[in-house]
Structure 1
C-alpha cells in the first residue's frame, strides 16, 4: 500500500485515460493529478475556499494580479490562471490589498487591526503597523509617490501613515465617518482622496491640510467609489442599487441610474480613459456600462455567489471579478469598436 498527503480533506476522485492517472479534489479548493506508476501528486488547480474580498493589479501590467481572503493573499499569473505565490496568516481575514506603485511591496488591511506589508516576489513580511484601527482595517490605499498609506477602519476613522525606509508613522487621524470605511481612492496628484462609508456618506478630503472638502450624503450604505480619470467627477454605489454621479468641486449630484434590479452593488472599476465602467454585486452579474450614456452595454453571467469586487486590467484585456463563494472569474474585455 502507498499513500500520498494532500492539502485538505479529499472530497472527490476521478480516473482518466487508461488507468495511468487519476484526479483528486479537496475541500481546500485544490485539484491534484496523481500518476499511478510514480504515485506522485502534482497540484494542477488552486483557488480560495472562502469569500474573496479584493483584487489588485500592479501598475501597468495585466500579467499578474493579487487577491485576498480569509487566512491568505495570493498572487496569480493571468495568462495561465496559475497561482504564483501564497502568503498565509492563519485565523485572520484580509479585507483589502494594494500594490505599491514602485512594485516593492503589497500592503494589506486585516481584521485584527493590523496593516501588513509583504514583498511581491517572495511574500516575506516587510513590516507590520500594529493597532492601526481598533475595529479592524477595512480599506487601504497608497499614494503614487509611495510615501504615504491611507487606511480606513471598522470604527469609521481614516488614518494617514507616513512610510519611510524603516519607519511607519501616524501622520493624521480624520474622524468624520461613524461606520466602517468601505473604499478609499486617491487623486493622481496625491493631494486629495475620497472615502466611502457604510454610514451613508462619501467624504472628499484634502490630504495636505487634512481637512474635509466635501461630503456626499445618500440613503445607502456606500460600498464603492471611483474617480473619473479626469478627476472632476466621482461615481458611487452601494446597498440602494443606484449608481450616483457627483461633482468633485461642490459634491452636487449630477445623475442617478439604477445599477441592479436586486441586491447591493459591492464593487466597481472604471477604464483608464473613463469611457466605460464595470459593476458587480448581489445579483451575481458583471455589468459593463457606457459612462456618458449611463447604460449597460454587456452583461457577464457566471458567478454562483455575491460578487464582492471587480477590476479592469491595465490595457483593457480582461475584467477580473471575485465572489463570496471563493470564485475568481476572468472575462475577456469586449471589443467595443
Structure 2
C-alpha cells in the first residue's frame, strides 16, 4: 500500500513541462538591450528576467532562465562565446551578473559584488576581461577575469562631485583600456593587472558640460563618440585622450541621443529620443539619411559590417533596416505595458485580442503577427471581449467608458459615456449579443441593452464594496457571477436583476469561472488558493494550494471541463486536472508576473500574458490519463 508521500512523489515524477511554442515580447526600455550575435543568425534581447535568443531565419526562440529580477543590461563577447547580463534588484540587495556560455546555453559564471542595479557591461577587445558598472546606488566599476571568474580590481566610477555614470566602452586594440561616461563625467581607464588596480584619467571638455547616455568607438580605434541628452555628439581623439569637437553646430537632435554605433565607412549611426535614426557625417555630425520609428530608440545593432541594422524602441518595436536601400521593416511588436486581459472570439483559435495601456491588439495566433491595433491615447483598457457573433469587440476603459469596435477595421461603433465613475474594470456580453454587463471600480454591476441606434441602462446592482475584477455569464443568459476585491463573489439572477448567492472568502478575488456544466464555480485570489464552489447554494466544496508565492491572477477551464489552468505572481503557468485537483503540467518561461490566461477554444494551446507586456503560447499536452 502506497503512503501519501509516495503518491505525492509519483505525481511529481509524472509532472510534465508545458512546451513553449512561441512568444511575443521585447523589453524595449533596456538601453542597448537588442543585440546581434556574431554568427549573424541570432538576435538576443531581454524579456523581464529572462533572455531570449531568437533565430532570425526560423523565428524559433530559446530562453535563458537564471535571473530573479528584471534584466537591466546585456552584452556579447566579440568572439560570440559569452553573453553577459546584469539585473536590477531592490535597495540593499546584491545585483547579479550572469555570464552565459552561448554554445551550451548554460550559466558559465555568476558574478556578485554590485548592489541594487547593474548599469552597463562591456567585454574588452580580447574577451579576457568583463567590465561592469554599478548603478546610482552602487557607483563602482569592477573588472572581472573571465578565465578565473574572479574580480581583478574595482574603483568608484566617478568623483564625488560628478553625477551618475551611465555607460562603458572598450578600446578596439588594447585589452587594458576602456572608457566611462555619464552626467558631467568622461573618463579614460587603464587596467594594471599585476598591481590589481585601475587608474582613471578625466578627459577635459572645457566649458562643455554634458550628460552622456551612450558611447561608441570608431572601428579604427581612433575616436570615441559620446551621445548626449542635449542632442549633440562629443568627439574624443583616443591616442591623446583629448576632446576634439562637438557637433552638429546648429541643429541639435531632438530629445537627445539615446543609442549610437560607428559604421565601417567612418560615419556614425545614431538613434534619438523622438524615434529618429540618422546617419551622420564623421566630423560635422550632420544628418544625411533619416528614418522615423515609433517610440524612443534604445538599441542599434549591426549585422556583419552594418549592411543590416536592427533597431529597438521603448515602445517594444523591433525594426530591420537594409543599409543599401535605406528602407525600414517592422519585424517584431508587442505591448510595452502590463497586459490586463485576453480574449478569443467564439469558436476561433486562430485569433485573439489583448488589451493594455493605450491600446487593444488583435493577434494571429500561429504566427504571432499583429493584425490590428486600436489606440486610445493616454487611456488604459482594463477588459475586453468579443460578441458571440464576432461582429464587435466590447472593451472597458479606466476613463469610465465602454467602447465597441469593429474587429476587422478597429473603427469605433459606439461609446457608452460615464458607464462607471471609477473606471470600467470588467466587461462581458450575453450569448444573444443583446446585453453588456459591466463592473466598475466602485463595485457597481450595470446591465446595458444594445439597440441598433442606442444603448439603454437596464439595471444597476450595487452590493460589492470594491472593484469588480471578473464577470462570467452562464450559457442560458439567466445568471452571472461577479468577483470583487472586497472578498465576495456574487451570483446574480439576470431576469430579476437580484442577488441569489454570495460566496465569502478571506481573500481579494482576482478571477472566477464557470465549469462548462455550470454546477461548479472556480475562484482564485490573493490567498494563493483555487476554490471550488457549488453554483446552487454557494458552499465551498474544495480548496487547492495553487501557488507558493503569488496571487492567483487568472484561471480558465477547457471546454470539456477536464482541465483548468492558473497563472499567478510566481511567474508560473499551471495546468490542473479538474476532478483530481492535481497539477498536470507546468509552464516555466515568463519573466514577470503573469496576469491572465486562456485555453484556446480547440484545446490545442494555452495563451498567457504578463506584466512585462509579453504573450506566451504553450502547447496543450496530450492527456495520458
TM range (shorter): over 0.9
Q: 1:331 deviation in Å?
A: 0.9
In the alignment, which of 288, 302, 314 is matched to residue 601 of structure 2? 314
1:68-217 to 2 correspondences below 5 Å: 68-217=355-504
- C-alpha distance in 1, partners of 2:305/2:390? 47
Once the 2 structures are TM-superposed, how far is the Cα of residue 333 of structure 1 from its aligned partner?
A: 1.1
Q: CA deviation at 1:18?
A: 5.7
CA RMSD after TM alignment: 0.8
* 1:169-205 deviations in Å (ceiling 9; x for gaps): 0000011101000000000000100000000000000
Per-residue deviation, residues 42-62 of structure 1 (Å, max 9, x unmatched): 001000000100000001111
**Residue 301 of structure 1 aligns with which residue?**
588
CA drift of 1:17 comes to 4.7
1:248 aligns with 2:535: yes
2:537 is equivalent to residue 274 of structure 1:
no
Deviation at 1:20, TM superposition (A): 2.9
- Report the CA distance between 1:334 and its aligned residue: 1.1
Matched residues in 1 for 2:320 and 2:554: separation? 35
Corresponding position: 1:259 with 2:546? yes
Partner of 1:239: 526
Taking the aligned partners of 1:100 and 1:328, their CA distance within structure 2 comes to: 22
Write the distance in 2 (CA, Å) between the matches of 1:131 and 1:175: 16
The aligned residue for residue 56 of structure 1 is 343
Aligned to 2:527, the other structure's residue is in SS state coil
**1:9-28 alignment, distance < 5 Å:** 9-17=296-304, 19-28=306-315
- Residues 1:223 and 2:515 are matched in the alignment: no
| Equivalent position of 2:616 in the other structure | 329
Aligned with residue 317 of structure 2, among 11, 15, 30? 30
Residues 233-254 of structure 1: CA distance to partner in whole angstroms, max 9, x if unpaired? 1010100011100000000110
Alpha-carbon deviation of 1:63?
A: 0.6
Q: Provide Cα deviations, 1:206-225, integer angstroms capped at 9, x if missing partner.
A: 00111111000000000000
Alpha-carbon distance between aligned partners in 1 of 2:397 and 2:618, rounded to the nearest angstrom:
28
What is the deviation of 1:15?
A: 2.0
Q: For residues 7 and 167 of structure 1, what CA distance do their matches in structure 2 show?
A: 37
Q: CA deviation at 1:308?
A: 0.8
What TM-score do the two structures reach when normalised by structure 2? 0.54
- Consecutive unaligned residues in structure 2, runs of 5 or more: 1-287
Q: Separation in 2 of the partners of 1:101 and 1:165?
A: 17
**If the length of structure 1 is used for normalisation, what is the TM-score?**
0.99
Post-superposition offset of 1:142: 0.4
Q: Aligned equivalents of 2:504 and 2:583: distance in 1?
A: 25
Query: Distance in 2 between the 1:94 and 1:111 partners?
Result: 6
Partner of 1:39: 326
Report the 3-state secondary structure (helix = DSSP H, G, I; strand = E; otherwise coil) of the residue aligned with 2:299: strand
Report the Cα distance in structure 1 between the residues aligned to 2:589 and 2:382, rounded to whole angstroms. Answer: 23
Structure 1 residues not aligned, in runs of 5+: none
State the distance in 2 between where 1:58 and 1:51 align: 22
Find the residue that maps to 1:3 and give its secondary structure: strand
SS at match of 1:257: strand
Give the CA deviation at 1:16: 2.2
Q: Distance in 1 between matches of 2:366 and 2:520?
A: 34
> For each residue in 1:55-100, what CA deviation from the matched residue of structure 2 results, as whole angstroms up to 9, or x when unmatched?
0000111110000000000000111100000000001100000001
Give how far 1:37 is off: 1.2
CA distance in 2, matches of 1:231, 1:57: 20
> Which residue pairs with 1:4 in the alignment?
291
Distance 1:137 1:56 in 2: 17
